[in-house]
């Protein structure tokens, strides 16, 4: 039997293909809305889905269908960082914050947090939606 992995369509990571790996070997790169089927060498295997430096693993069995969906709490976290950057820009523009040291520290901290949130925290989740295995 085989395992099916489906990437949901939607407005998350439209420009990025997600890599599906089994034992550090890339099986497929999924664009939004695509699916892939593959055979498992063993009855149970761990597959990894990755994007940039972020990755998630899930244990699958023969006959299962896995879907890749957006992770709403992570998306809200990413949005809040963008909002904080915007607020900082407004505070600097209207000269509410006048301390150059404070502006530099806040800017660097938010840029590091922004980079970490977008490249190292996976903004997708893996869910098994169908379990048609005979085990």
Mean pLDDT of 98-107: 92
Percentage of the residues of the chain whose pLDDT score is greater than 90: 59
- Integer Cα distance of 2 and 9 in angstroms: 22
pTM to 2 decimal places: 0.79
pLDDT tens-digit map of 44-90 = 999 999 988 899 999 999 889 999 988 899 989 999 999 999 999 99
Are 3 and 38 contacting, i.e. CB atoms less than 8 angstroms apart? yes
Q: How far is CA 59 from CA 14, 29, 40, 85, 90, in A?
A: 26, 19, 11, 38, 46
- Integer Cα distance of 24 and 8 in angstroms: 23
pLDDT value of residue 32: 86
- Integer Cα distance of 130 and 50 in angstroms: 22
pLDDT value of residue 5: 93
């Amino acid at each position: 039997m085989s395992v099916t992995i489906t990437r949901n369509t939607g407005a998350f990571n439209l420009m990025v293909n997600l890599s599906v790996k089994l034992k550090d070997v890339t099986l497929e790169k999924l664009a939004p809305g695509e699916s892939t089927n593959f055979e498992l060498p063993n009855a149970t295997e761990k597959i990894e889905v990755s994007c940039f430096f972020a990755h998630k693993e899930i244990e699958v069995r023969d006959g299962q269908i896995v879907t890749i969906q957006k992770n709403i709490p992570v998306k809200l976290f990413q949005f809040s960082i963008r909002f904080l950057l915007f607020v900082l820009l407004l505070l600097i523009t209207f000269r509410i914050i006048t301390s150059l040291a404070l502006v530099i520290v806040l800017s660097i901290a938010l840029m590091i947090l922004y980079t970490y949130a977008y490249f190292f925290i996976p903004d997708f989740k893996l869910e098994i939606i169908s379990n048609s295995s005979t085990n």
